[in-house]
Amino acid sequence: MKILVIHGPNLNLLGTREPGIYGNTTLTNINAALQALAGELGIEVAFVQSNHEGGIVDAIQAAKTDCDGILINPAAYTHTSVAIRDAVSAVAIPVVEVHLSNVHAREEFRSKSYIAPVAVGQISGFGVDSYLLGLRAIFSHIKLRL
Ligand code: DQA
């Protein structure tokens, strides 16, 4: 089983970006934690970070050929992107949406997700654990379906 992990805009700045909201963990650390969990689960993970909507659409489309599922933090595009939502619908492989912060406890505009209705589910508010819980969730979801 292979899962593509997609990190959206500004997540390359984790560690220094608004640490009161997003914590001090860097993206490199998050990917290392996911890689370690993937090893425990006996699965493969690949990582992409893009600050560009089209780059994320391209990554989702490419995943159709060689991945079984996608773990995505669409970041700000969560709240705006019909293009990313349509890409998720188009590839028809399972997607789990994650957020470090609790998007439902922040500004009103963050509680709207264009992606969640076409995802298997959304995990929000647990910091780095959102990603780890998300990887476990997509792993179980795919295993049950296989
Ligand atoms: C985020 C929440 C989004 O609202 C925000 O735009 C981000 C990060 C999170 O992980 O908490 O960039 O997706």
Q: Is 100 in the pocket of ligand 1 (CB under 6 A)?
A: yes
Mean pLDDT of 122-136: 98
Q: pLDDT tens for residues 114-123?
A: 999 999 999 9
Catalytic residue list contains 7: no
Q: pLDDT tens for residues 8-36?
A: 999 999 999 999 999 999 999 999 999 99
Catalytic residue list contains 77: no
Tell me how many domains the chain contains. Answer: 1
Q: Pick from 16, 50, 103 the residue to mutate for probing ligand 1's pocket: most ligand atoms within 8 Å of its CB.
A: 103
CATH of the domain at 28: 3.40.50.9100
Annotated binding site for substrate: 73, 79, 86, 100-101, 110
Amino acid at 76: A
Do the beta carbons of residue 123 and residue 99 sit within 8 Å? Answer: yes
Question: Which residues lie closer than 8 Å to 116 by C-beta, 6 or more apart?
Answer: 97, 122
Q: pLDDT tens for residues 50-101?
A: 999 999 999 999 999 999 999 999 999 999 999 999 999 999 899 999 999 9
Question: Which residues lie closer than 8 Å to 138 by C-beta, 6 or more apart?
Answer: 3, 69, 70, 71, 94, 95, 96, 120
Residues spanned by the domain of 37: 2-145
